Structure 1
Amino acid sequence: MIVKKFIQQLFLGFRLYLTLIGLSLIFLLSYWITALFPIAVILLWSLGVVFLLDLVLLFRNPHPLQASRVLPEKFSNSDSNEVELGLENKLNIPIDYVIIDEIPMQFQKRDFELSGYLSGKGEGTLSYHLVPLERGEYFFGDLHVFIQSRLGLVRRRLSFQKGQMVKVYPSFVQMQQYDFLASNTYRVEQGLKKIRRIGHTLEFEQIKEYNLGDDVRSINWKATAKAADLMVNQFQDEKSQPIYSIIDMGRVMQMPFDGLSLLDYAINSCLAFSNIAIKKGDKAGVITFSHIMHRSLAASNRKTHLLAILELLYGLKTDYLDTDFGLLYTWLKRKVSQRSMVLLFTNFEHHSALERQLPYLKAIARQHLLVVVMFENTLLEEVAGQDSARISEVFLQTVAGKFMYDKRLMAKELNRHGIQTILTKPKELSINTINKYLELKARGMI
């Protein structure tokens, strides 16, 4: 058993092969230059002694190195996630190391390798980053560390951390990124739409001193008389409104862009949007459907509700079947009696597809504030923007432009029937969705 373990851990270093090649050349030359033969023999014996010394340095300690892989509690889908590695050299001599980590199969990395140097009795930490593109369970294999002394003739392989698993959840990093938008003071950053607040709701918040730019119609004359200074009533957005994110899990949502499906973009956006809604005091809920009604979560603004939404979104998968909007309308009419904001994540690639579902969308819009989210095809934009040198390329650009025009036409058709619409690129979905919610809230529509 000990011999088997020794053989499994023993690897010959690259420097040993180079030395043997050099000695072979000397022995070859000694055929014509006989004086080189004794020198070659001495060098061969010296190499054997150094080889044995290197073996003793690396194998005399049964545990020459301690290594560990530290994984976060969960990974964030489509974001960069850090994996930390810790090393501790138990030997008194400095060593060089090469780390080969068995990364989960979903990443399809077969050339992962990290190398470095540790002093005698030294410690070190290093890290690398992974970007998952699918939700689910990711299994890490062994953490292999190859160590060698400064002689470099022998390498010893050590294996650690056998079998670790981490779950990949919807993008909570993206959720935290847009968390600041929940504040009452709207900030304007690059890429964020400036929202003009129209009037105010009837929910009173406080009386404050008048500042230049405040609405003079909000002056509280009784408070002004008492304070001998201009005082105004300040109002806040009406809270506790039910807001549902409805995710279409049909086959139209399986279309991929930059490694992520439209379903994953919708899930990431749903989590970020629900976080903002809850922080603004509204009730957030989630509904998933395709040809059948899948899982749903009633609207709530409890602090623990976001964790329930995260767990629900974690296991969603597309079922590749046509979506039944009539079933969704019936379910909403039966289950959601209070007028709510309904954010529907779906996609229509053809005008005929929209026409089939338009009666149901109009029926939903009569009972709720319906916002339909559709996706721009960024690949078509790339084709339409390319320079054309041949007739076939002109034809492709024309077709791409026609599809893009039809998509904008569908958005206008929905608006014409009183249905709010978001037509966005997949990567800009979260910010555009949140901005639409804040815009509708500022206009007092919810």
Structure 2
Amino acid sequence: MTLPIPGTSLYKLLAALTLLALLGSFWSPMILVWQVASGCAMILVLLDLFLLYQRGIPEINREYQNSIPLGVKRTISLIVINHSKYPCTFDLYDHYPLELEAQGLPVHLSLPADGNAKIQYQVTAKARGKYEFIGVQLHLWSRWRFWQRDYRMSLAGEIHVYPNFAAIPHIALLATDNFLSQMGIIKKPRRGQGQDFHQLREYREGDSMRQIDWKATSRIRKVISREYQDERDQEIIFLLDCGHRMRARDAGLSHFDHTLNALLMLSYVALRQGDAVGLNTFGGSSRWASPKKGHHTIQSLLNTVYDLQPGTAAPDYTQAASDLLVRHKKRSLVIILSNIRDEDNAELQAAVGLLKRRHLVLVASLREKALDQNLQDAPIDMTEALRTSAIHHYLQERKAAFDRLSNQGVIAVDVEPQQLGVSLINSYLGIKASGKL
């Protein structure tokens, strides 16, 4: 049984009795008034305490979405039902996970006898993963507010925080010939100039002479063109670094979260193109999702990575390449997603060499936005000059490392985190159009 907590009214009553006692010390007739008031007050306070323990505890249920996106406000509801024949007043607090930010708690509420209410508050997830609700806490007030009683009720719940991919439906609209250029995604070949034969159709202005099917043209006496489409049924496998470098932050998100967003964007576009998408993680956490086709694959990828966090281990590119070669035999587009430094050059080249024996390799690296920001302003003293010189040297070494990868025939992308998604989609569409895969 929980002990009662003195309420605000009890402190006010004690202050009033103290004032009467002080007056009685100066004027003796007030002593009798103080004694009577003290007796009545004691009876009233004890009666209020007795009635408090006779009251039933309201029933509480929680309603919420089990899966919410990162950084987006969502509503959680608490259904409170008073089964008692007496009205009740209380303060209510929900013990939500620390990884959520909440607005609208605690709540002060009064319920009539046999009444109910629906309380809503807003939460915003600060980190991906699987988190637990512990329970709810009630401060039930007595009738005259002399006492309050603390109840901690077990109301367990689990919530999953996924990457925010709200932009994906917008990407689906843009992922057409007419709209891709609006976000910097450029599809180079014209429609009908892919690799796989799609259909015969009437000649349109702008079709090349090579597209004309002369046999069909002579047969029906109309100019007929062959229409092609990009190759389908190909496979894309993401090799995702979960090492310590992916913990760096830009624009409020870690490089790892930026990478997950780009991964989902490209996956959605690739699945719409009829390709299969898979995932292999390395650098502290090893998870494998074999390449699959269909829009349900997006949900499968989300379930694989939603609780994945970058660790403190260093990435082992060679081991990751060896593991992938064992797991997957079919030729695929392997996209290495990492934050690559010049000291990784030897190991990365060895890993790329292993993968190139069977796969087409694309290396995508995130460059810290702070590097370019520090170069925008001219140095004004020796300290800033030395820092600027060091940044230039670092970027030159980084560029040299990527040039060596390009000389190996590897497609390399080195961009700021916010530009990674667009750069990956551009590279993917270029590869599809070229027929390299």
Q: Matched residue of 1:100: which SS?
A: strand
C-alpha distance in structure 2 between counterparts of 1:388 and 1:90, whole Å: 71
Identity of aligned residues (%): 20
User: For the structure 1 residues 49 and 420, does the alpha-carbon distance in structure 2 shift closer, same or farther, using more than 3 Å as the test?
Assistant: farther
Q: Following the alignment from structure 2 to structure 1, what is the Cα–Cα distance between the partners of residues 434 and 24?
A: 94
1:351-370 correspondence to structure 2 within 5 Å = 351-361=342-352, 364-365=355-356, 367-370=358-361
1:82-161 aligned at under 5 Å gives the runs 82-90=75-83, 95-104=88-97, 113-120=105-112, 121-135=115-129, 137-148=130-141, 151-161=144-154
Indicate the SS of the match to 1:348: coil
Deviation, 1:368, is 3.2
22-31 or 276-285, larger mean C-alpha shift: 22-31
The residue that corresponds to 2:196 in the other structure is: 203
- Structure 2 residue aligned with 1:181: 171
Using the TM superposition, give the Cα deviation of residue 81 of structure 1 relative to its aligned residue in structure 2, in angstroms. 5.3
CA contact (8 A) 1:179 1:276 kept: no
Deviation at 1:230, TM superposition (A): 9.0
Please state how far the C-alpha of 1:177 moved relative to its aligned partner. 3.0
Quick one: which amino acid aligns to residue 183 of structure 2? L
Task: Name the count of aligned residue pairs.
Answer: 431
Structure 1 alignment gaps of length 5 or more: none
Local SS of the residue matching 1:141: strand
Distance change >3 Å, CA 20–CA 424, structure 1 → 2: farther
TM value normalised by structure 1: 0.75
Counterpart residue identity of residue 423, structure 1 = D
Give 1:284 deviation, angstroms. Answer: 0.8
**Structure 2 counterpart of 1:13:** 7
> Please, which of 433, 438, 442 is the counterpart of residue 424 of structure 2?
433
The within-5 A match list for 1:11-410 is 11-32=5-26, 37=31, 40=34, 44=38, 47-48=41-42, 51=45, 54-55=48-49, 58-63=52-57, 65-76=58-69, 80=73, 82-90=75-83, 95-104=88-97, 113-120=105-112, 121-135=115-129, 137-148=130-141, 151-168=144-161, 170-171=162-163, 173-174=164-165, 176-182=166-172, 185=176, 188=179, 192-199=183-190, 200-205=193-198, 215=207, 235-255=228-248, 262-290=255-283, 294-302=286-294, 305-313=297-305, 320-331=312-323, 336-349=328-341, 351-361=342-352, 364-365=355-356, 367-380=358-371, 391-393=382-384, 395-400=386-391, 402-404=393-395, 406-408=397-399, 410=401
Query: What is the deviation of 1:195?
Result: 1.8
Distance in 1 between the 2:346 and 2:92 partners? 57
TM-score with structure 2 setting the length: 0.76
Q: Is the 8 A contact 2:180 2:186 kept in 1?
A: no
Tell me, in whole angstroms, the C-alpha distance in 1 between the residues paired with 2:181 and 2:9.
Answer: 54
Following TM superposition, by how much is the alpha carbon of 1:278 offset from its aligned partner in structure 2, in angstroms? 2.2
Structure 2: which 5+ runs fail to align? none
Measure, in 2, the Cα distance between the counterparts of 1:47 and 1:393: 73
**Structure 1 residue 314: deviation in Å?**
5.2
RMSD between superposed Cα atoms in Å: 4.5
- What residue number does 1:419 align with? 410
Q: Which whole-Å CA distance do the structure 1 matches of 2:370 and 2:231 have between them? A: 41
Return the letter of the residue paired with 2:289: L
Deviates more, 1:305-314 or 1:278-287: 305-314
